[in-house]
Amino acid sequence: MDMLLPLKFTESLPVQDGFQRSLRELRLSVIDRCNFRCTYCMPADSLQGRGVFLPLEKLLTDHEMEDLVRAFVDLGVRKLRITGGEPLVRPGLPALIEQLAAIPGLDDIALTTNGVMLTRLAGDLAEAGLSRLTVSLDTLNQEILHHMSGGKARLGHILEGISAAEAAGFRRIKINTVVQRGVNDHTIMDLLAHFRGSGHPVRLIEFMDVGNSNHWNKSDVVPNAEWIETIRQKWPIRPLEPSSAAETAQRFEYVDGQGEIGFISSITQPFCGGCTRARVTADGIFYTCLFSNSGTNLMPLIRHGEDPDELRNRIHSVWSARNDRYSEERGLPGHDQKKVEMYRLGG
Ligand code: SAM
Ligand code: SF4
Ligand code: SF4
């Protein structure tokens, strides 16, 4: 009988899923809107006109986001990544970061951004307590960047954003680069050359089949193993020890001391076994995998719930029942599911 009683959470209670993966990291989308229309994420031709984005009143408020993150921290989350859509378009983001940074038990708050609004916001974000920044930048070629961002990105604005972040004190900014064969692959070595010696590690990300609308095709993926060989011929590199089992990137360092480079190979070398990441959309839907086709709506428990234990119990039971390993099962028969869109979920 005891088993049926709701758990009472008086202290931090770690939770594990069906494959003994603990809940350690939360990726929280703070808004689904974006000022870019990247062809691999939110292609303009697939947005179904007005009403595709959440109305602002449907977003969790700052206070609600704080309650949500506290519940995840009680269950073992130590790292939080703020994402979107473009997180910097959420009004008042630095104030939200400040609230989240004050949550006891949370060791690290990172944010992923397309970088253009950093010129205005980097200082406030640093002051608010943001620990780390990732800036997405796919190429230094303005024409290709223009195309990949759906006609929205200007290279100068993103580089100015990175400089503003450096000036605000972010010393080690990760640069996320999605590689698509025949689109930006011939510009990758220039991008690596630019960031060598800057202290900012570039991470080459294999183009993924996220969402339903990015026209993904396996032949557009450049396996990261190819990059490792190509880069080695120009600049010798050697592998680094993973800093944790949950690390998504395989890290290498340049032998000549010019810094680090990461490879995120979720197509050719899936890493589901170490996946300890939960994801929540800006309207409170909890997903246990980047490629999920359905999630659990936590909003009623956050907005109208009276007992914080109920929220924690729901998260606990969803995570305990988790058995996701999409990237390892990709391509298997019966695996062609409809997936949540990347810009709703964040990367
Ligand atoms: N707007 C922010 C940005 O672009 O950095 C944050 C949200 S974006 C969805 C998070 C990360 O997902 C970005 O680094 C982006 O490049 C990556 N991403 C989006 N679509 C992708 C895809 N199809 N394959 C691989 N990475 C993707
Ligand atoms: Fe926007 Fe980021 Fe998606 Fe590009 S990758 S469309 S910047 S959310
Ligand atoms: Fe985690 Fe799903 Fe990606 Fe596997 S496919 S690493 S379970 S998010």
Q: Domain holding 36: CATH number? A: 3.20.20.70
Backbone dihedral region of 226: left (phi > 0), alpha (psi from -120 to 50 degrees) or beta? alpha
Q: Which residue in the block uniquely carries the two structure tokens 């899936």? A: 270
Mean pLDDT within 73-83: 97
The predicted pLDDT at position 11 comes to: 46
Pairing assessment for the beta strands 108-113 and 132-136 based on DSSP bridges: parallel
Within a domain: 271: yes
Confidence bin at 320 (pLDDT 50/70/90) = very high
Tally of domains in the chain? 1
In this structure, what token pair is assigned to residue 88? 């910097």
Q: Which atom of ligand 3 is nearest to the CA of 274?
A: 6
Within a domain: 148: yes
pLDDT at 291: 92
Q: Provide residues with CB under 6 Å of ligand 1.
A: 34, 40-41, 83-84, 86, 112-114, 136, 176, 178, 205, 207-208, 210, 214, 342-343, 346-347
Task: Please report which confidence band the pLDDT of residue 331 belongs to, taking 50, 70 and 90 as the band edges.
Answer: confident
Block residue for tokens 């997180």? 87
Residue 234 phi/psi, 5-degree rounding, is -95, -45
Q: What is the mean pLDDT of the chain?
A: 92
In this prediction, residues 169-184 reach a mean pLDDT of: 98
In a domain, 106, yes or no: yes
132 Cβ contact list (under 8 Å, min separation 6): 108, 109, 110, 111, 170, 172, 174
pLDDT at 250: 96
Task: Tell me the mean pLDDT in the region 198-215.
Answer: 94
Domain presence at residue 9 = no
Does residue 7 form part of some domain? no
Pick 200 or 213 by higher pLDDT: 200
pLDDT at position 13 over 70? no
pLDDT for position 84: 95
CB 199 within 8 A of CB 172: yes
Mean pLDDT of 187-213: 96
Domain membership of residue 124 (yes or no) is yes
**Tokens 């993926």 appear where?**
221
* 160, part of any domain: yes
Tokens of 10: 């008086």
Has residue 49 got a pLDDT over 50? no
- Residue at 141: amino acid letter: N
pTM, rounded to two decimals = 0.95
Range of the domain at 53: 25-345
The confidence band for 6, taking pLDDT boundaries of 50, 70 and 90, is low
Average pLDDT rounded to a whole number, residues 67-94 = 97
Going by pLDDT thresholds of 50, 70 and 90, the confidence category of residue 158 is very high
Q: With cut-offs at 50, 70 and 90, classify the pLDDT of residue 255.
A: very high
Binding site membership of 325 for ligand 3 (Cβ less than 6 Å): yes
96 lines ligand 2 (CB under 6 A): no
**Helix residue ranges per DSSP H, the chain:** 62-74, 93-101, 118-128, 142-148, 155-167, 188-195, 224-234, 299, 308-320, 326-329, 342-345
How many residues in total does the chain contain? 347
Q: Does residue 75 lie in a domain region?
A: yes
